[in-house]
Every structure is written in structure tokens, then in C-alpha cells.
Structure 1
């Protein structure tokens, strides 16, 4: 069974994260699968809309820790990576993209939602952007988009404290469109995606492009800057301590590190 299941039906492409035993923790191979699925959706005339989901139990718990540790040991991760390529493919997709979020949406599980067009969350959804706690910085354009949507103070709270937050807060932050009973999530999100898939494709693509406005270049530059700093921090001692503490099941100790001047 594939960890990324892609199905096409009547113009709707569904991308299902399917690694339930690991709470849909993402590996490089999974990012590559999602990247390819998004690029194919963008190019295929038969695909009119995309639905991204992790099913009814968990969206994604974020990066796979073992895969994450391998990345941190890589001498230079500043160039293209499957994760980065996936986020850009998602952002650049001319077709409407709907996300259905149940359970955990951690790290990139939250930030990828910023590049979807419509996002529906179940009442059991749990969001978190714990980048600082991992010795990292925000990614995926989140340090630009979250303040724009939810305001600077709320963005500070979500990205600097990095604590888990409820669907109601995600709604206030402009990350999700609506919060639904868990049992209604998938049917509702799929219904919306099918409505979008039935609409005129050329008009839909033009509307999406116009809605994104003139900020595309700014967002690209910001995401590029984030990824460069993220890559630098990923190979740094704070990230190494965070990952080691997680694997050793202890609280990380950052007391020996000095603040940058």
C-alpha cells in the first residue's frame, strides 16, 4: 500500500496521506510523491480540482524524525528538496486546492494549508507550528502569511510560542475556512472540491490567479529566504539537541546556547 495514494474521479484528484501507523509523518519519498501529484494535476486538463487529506483520524504529525535527522546530517540542504518542491508546486497549482484536516496538523501540516484555496477542519483537529522548539525558523511562507491573515500579535503567539492550538484559533488566524463535526469533514470537503471541479476551468484559473494578486514575487522571495535560514538552522546545534532530546525522550536543554547578536 502506497503512503501517498492518488486517485482521479470526474475531474477531482484526491491526494491521501496514508501512513496511519506513523500518524502520517512525512518522509522525503512522501514529499516527492505529493510534489509529483501536484505537478501532474497542474498539467493534466482532466484534473479540475485537488483534494488533500490524511483521512478521518490524522492529517500529518509533521516530518518523520528519522528522516529529519538524516536531513540535518546532510552537508548542504540549501538547494531544491522534495519538501520545498512540493510547497512550491502546491502554491503554483492553477487548479483549486481543498484541504480536509482531521487530528494532528503539525509543522508543515499547518503551513501547507496556507497555500490551499479552501481548508476545512474537523473539531478534533490540532494545529501547531513548533519550529522554534526544534531549533528552526518558520517555513513555507508562514512568517509572511500568518501575520497577513491573522495579525501580528496572533502570529507572534503561534510562531514564537509554538504551542498547539485549536480549530477555533486556526479559524481566527485565517488558516481554515470552517470547523466541522468530525464525521462530516470528508464528505463536506469532497463536496466543495467537486463543486469547484465542475466550474469553467479557464475562468477558475484566471480567478485564482487574480485572487493571489501581485504578491507572488514577494512570497517567492520570502519563502526562499525562509528555506535558506531553515536549512542553515537544521544543520546547527540547537536542532541537533532538539532531535536528540526527542529520540531520548527527555526535555531539550538550550541553556548552553547564546542568543545571536
Structure 2
């Protein structure tokens, strides 16, 4: 589910559901949450790197489980999505992402919590919220505008379009685009530079870097959670999941027309 390796005070967490494109089911949310908590508390770990196994970084929330949630046949994990986002938001040490392939949903929005993002030149991300009939998540309504500016963040969060590695670097969402075979080595080279420093200094430096956000992350998550609650299982979301299962494009115009006629 998740592989953990340590090297020179750097802990590498590898999301390891390659057959599911490292999509987050409840078990992977729980495992990642606990791995981050353990790394935060471990005095031998100075920096954490998250990457993915296989051809994907993460395909986001497992859509099979999302459909189960809508049908009422869903069993929540111990921590789930909220617990993992809590850990990402509060993680006190430098957090690097090595985005090795496609990243969708939380596989894209978690970039907003990283201190440095390295992307394979073949990697790309998508925030598919509007194509699923839902709303942004994981405080991306604050982190993305802070990193990208409002208009670029609006395009990334509202369009459900793919964004390539070079464009992510140009926008400010990633630090470097690296050849696929060099991605992890280049990420670790930078991580080890920081890992050679005092952990206390790294923690306090990160704290002051993020202090300007104040409680905006928590406020953003509360607003996003409410928007998600209103939309999850609604007509557009049901149409999106049905279309996904039927391997067709969703017809949101028809959904909107029915809503207008009924309303």
C-alpha cells in the first residue's frame, strides 16, 4: 500500500497501488496519514519525499469508493481523506513531492502543501472537480491562488484540463521538471541538502514561511467541505459517475436543463 525507505535523514514514501494508478482508497489514505505522522515525530527524519509507484503519481480518490459513498455501501477508514489532509497541512518538516506520472484530484491538490515539487517531464496533473460535478478540495481554493495567482488557479481548478510539467513550472506549481529517469535522484539530491541542516531550524523556518496563511487553510477547507457536501451525490455528480461507468462524456447541459425545469 505504501513503501517507506530512509536515506541520509530523508524518508521516501512511495504510494504503492500501481494497478489502481495509486488512487487513494480509505486504506491508502490511512496508511499515508500514519506514515506522515510517524515521520513528523521521528527525530531521525529531517525531510520527507512522496512519490508514486508505476506510471502514476496518484489518480486521486478511488471512484469506486466514491460511488459506494453515494450508494450508502461505504465503510470509512480510521483517518480517511480529512485525516491525510490534516497531516499534510500540519506537517512540520520540509515536504517534497516527486511527481512521477499523472496526478488527479488529491494527486494534484496535494501539490499545494508541498515545499518543493519536482515533476517528471512526462507527468501531468488534472483537478477534475467540475468534470465530476463537485468542488475543489484540500484547501486548493487558497493554496493554488497563493502559488499561481487567481486567474491561473481559476483555470486549473475550474477547467478540469490536463496541465503538463513544463506549464506547472511556469505557473509556479512545481519547482523543476526533470527527465523521468532522473526524477527521484534529482529530488533526493535537493532533499539531502536540506536534510543536512538542523531539524529545529528547518521546522521553525517552515513555520515562518507559512505563517502568512494563518487560519486561511482551515477556513478554506470548511468552505470546500460544505460545497462538496452540497454537490456530492447530487444530479451532476451522479451523472458524472454514471458516465464514467458507461465510458462516455457526462451531459451536464441536460442535468442543468432538468434542474431549471424543475426549479
In 1: Cα distance, 2:169 partner to 2:125 partner: 11
Query: Could you tell me which residue of structure 2 aligns to residue 73 of structure 1?
Result: 71
Residue of structure 1 aligned with 2:174, choices 173, 176, 190:
176
- Superposition deviation, residue 232 in structure 1: 2.9
Query: Could you tell me which residue of structure 2 aligns to residue 239 of structure 1?
Result: 237
Deviations 1:173-217 (A, max 9, x none): 321101111111010111222222221011110000000023231
In 2: Cα distance, 1:159 partner to 1:81 partner: 25
SS of 1:256 mapped into structure 2: helix
Residue of structure 2 aligned with 1:10, choices 1, 8, 11:
8
TM-score, with normalisation over the residues of structure 1?
A: 0.92
Query: Could you tell me which residue of structure 2 aligns to residue 53 of structure 1?
Result: 51
SS of 1:53 mapped into structure 2: strand
In 1: Cα distance, 2:73 partner to 2:22 partner: 27
In 1: Cα distance, 2:188 partner to 2:243 partner: 39
In 2: Cα distance, 1:228 partner to 1:44 partner: 35
CA contact (8 A) 1:4 1:30 kept: yes
- Superposition deviation, residue 149 in structure 1: 1.9
Query: Could you tell me which residue of structure 1 aligns to residue 255 of structure 2?
Result: 256
- Cα 1:196–1:56, aligned 2, differ >3 Å: closer, same or farther? farther
Q: How does 1:64-213 map to 2 (within 5 A)?
A: 64-74=62-72, 82-213=80-211
SS of 2:98 mapped into structure 1: strand
Single out whichever of 29-38 and 65-74 deviates more from structure 2: 65-74
In 2: Cα distance, 1:33 partner to 1:69 partner: 22
CA contact (8 A) 1:56 1:186 kept: no
In structure 2, runs of 5+ residues without a counterpart are none
Residue of structure 2 aligned with 1:216, choices 203, 214, 217:
214
In structure 1, runs of 5+ residues without a counterpart are none
Deviations 1:132-185 (A, max 9, x none): 110100011111222222122212211111111111221133211011111110
CA contact (8 A) 1:35 1:86 kept: yes
CA contact (8 A) 2:113 2:143 kept: no
Give 1 or 2: higher helix fraction. Answer: 2
- Superposition deviation, residue 240 in structure 1: 1.3
TM-score, with normalisation over the residues of structure 2?
A: 0.91
- Superposition deviation, residue 60 in structure 1: 1.0
In 2: Cα distance, 1:228 partner to 1:82 partner: 17
In 1: Cα distance, 2:148 partner to 2:14 partner: 28
- Cα 1:10–1:74, aligned 2, differ >3 Å: closer, same or farther? farther
